Each structure stands twice: as structure tokens, then as C-alpha cells.
Amino acid sequence: MKLRVINPNTTQAMTDTIAQAARRVAGPGTEIVASQPASGPVSIESHFDEAVAAVGVAEEVLAGEREGTDAYVIACFGDPGLWSARELTRAPVIGIAEAAFHMAALIATRFSVVTTLGRTCVIAEHLLAQYGFEHQCRRVRAAEIPVLDLEHDPDAALRKIIEESLRAKAEDGVGAIVLGCGGMADLTEEISRAVGLPVVEGVTAAVKLAESLVHLGLHTSKHGDLDFPRPKAFAGRFSHFSA
């Protein structure tokens, strides 16, 4: 099985972190291909960042289609470009926020999300409502760390995430914590030990869900809105999408 894990930002160090986490949990026979767009934001911390990154995600899926990819993971907690990516392939496409919410709901009746910056909380809240998990999630909390601090100042970032997770445990009445950033993919075990709760992060959750769908022979439905986009001409910088 070839599983393409797409980091929607353009920071190679974060792609490497995500790839290591994915390979750690991948089953025998699963090849993890980690990639990132050639162009786009170095981190994704706003609606605008997500809009730009979604184009890069589409390009990475099209590249994966040429390579015979069996499933895709979009490794950003905003799940940028998820629905358009599903239009481009029959293979399963899993967003890490959607995967993490599903996994957390299977092990706890209530969970809280600990993410990076406060301004991104509303993005997670929108996804919780869209995916139907708003009643299971008690709160979306921000550790108030820029995404790239996970690479540039990892010790301080980890400390802030643990502190916010401990507040969630004490104040929110939850049984699990969801980590709200793909760059936190290598922190699960350490945070869980410090907080004393199950900690779910989306990269590893999405890898296992993608493997399960492939093993079950399930693919993205092409009946209705997720059918392949109608062929049409694209102008200017997007002319390469014309086919």
C-alpha cells in the first residue's frame, strides 16, 4: 500500500516530523510517501493560509495519482482542501482533524482540543460542527504558540501544550485530549504521560484510518458531489489544471 502524507505547508522540518510519526504507526507493507507543496505558506495559521495551501494540496494529490497512490492524508488540522482533494481521486483522503475527532470519540465521551494560536480556534470549531462532533468536544483551547515554534523552540512549545492540556483536564470534564496541529505528531506519548489522559493526534489517527479503508476495499464515492470535477479550461497560473 502506498500512502501519501501531505504536509500542506512548505516547511521541510515539519514534513520530516510528520513522516516519522506516520512511519512509526504504519503497518507492514505500507509505504509512507511524505510530501509538501512547492509553493505556499511556511505555516498555516489563518483562513487565508488555508486557501492558498489548498491549491498545493490539490497539486500533491494529482502528483500522487500519477504514482499510483492508494490513500492520502492531509496533515494540517484545518483539513485544507479536503473536499476538493476527494474530488480528484478514488482513493480515500483523510484529514487529520476529522480523523482525530473520530478516534477521540471512540475512547471518551468528551474531549477538548489543544491547538496553537487562539485565532485558529474558530477553524477547529467550524470543523467540529461540520463533522458532527460539537457535542463531544467541550472546548477548543490555544496554547498560544506559533506553529513554527514546534520546530524552532520545541521545549517551550511542549511545556505550553502540557500546561493547557492540564487546564483542560481540570476544568473541562474531559476524558481525552486532541492535539490541534500536525506539527505535534511526535509529542503524543510525552503529553499523555504528563497529563494522565489519552492524547490523540491526527497524523497517526489518519494513517490507521486510511489503511483500514484500503484494506476494506472502500474508496471515495464518485456518485454525486465527490465525482471528478468537470473538465474545463483554467487560465493563467492555474492553466495546468485545464486537463
CATH topology of domain 2-95+205-241: Rossmann fold (3.40.50)
**pLDDT single digits (tens) 14-51:** 999 999 999 999 999 999 999 999 999 999 999 999 99
The secondary structure of the chain in percent helix, strand, coil, rounded to multiples of 5, reads: 50, 15, 35
Residue type, 241: F
The model's confidence at residue 239, banded by pLDDT at 50, 70 and 90, is very high
- Report how far residue 177's alpha carbon sits from residue 88's, in angstroms, rounded to the nearest whole number: 32
Domain 97-202 has CATH 3.30.70.20: no
SS3 222: coil
Residues in contact with 16: Cβ distance below 8 Å, sequence separation at least 6, in sequence order: 34
Per-residue confidence (pLDDT) for residue 216, from 0 to 100: 98
Q: What is the pLDDT of residues 95-133, one digit of tens each?
A: 999 999 999 999 999 999 999 999 999 999 999 999 999
pLDDT above 90 for 60: yes
* Adjacency order of strands within the sheet including 71-74: 31-35, 2-6, 71-74, 93-95
pLDDT score, position 231: 94
Beta bridge pairs of residue 54: none
Supply the pLDDT for residue 155.
93
pLDDT at site 39: 97
CA pair distance 123, 107, nearest whole angstrom: 24
Task: Give yes or no for a contact between 91 and 219, defined as CB atoms under 8 angstroms apart.
Answer: yes
SS3 92: coil
Burial of 191 (0-12, 13-18, 19+ CB in 10 A): buried
Domains 2-95+205-241 and 97-202 fall in the same CATH topology? yes
Under 8 Å CB-to-CB from 37, ≥6 apart: which residues? 6, 8, 9, 10, 53, 55, 56, 57, 59, 60
Per-residue model confidence as pLDDT tens digits over 141-190: 999 999 999 988 999 999 999 999 999 999 999 999 999 999 999 999 99
The tens digit of pLDDT for each residue in 215-234 reads: 999 999 999 999 999 999 99
The pLDDT value given to residue 243: 77
Residue ranges per structural domain of the chain: 2-95+205-241, 97-202
| H or E element that contains 34 | strand 31-35
Residue-by-residue DSSP string for 121-174: HHHHHHHHHHHT-TTTEEEEEE----TTHHHHSHHHHHHHHHHHHHHHHHHS--
Residue 127's pLDDT is what?
A: 98
Are 188 and 211 a contacting pair, CB within 8 Å? no
Consecutive H or E run containing 33? strand 31-35
Q: What is the pLDDT of residue 12?
A: 97
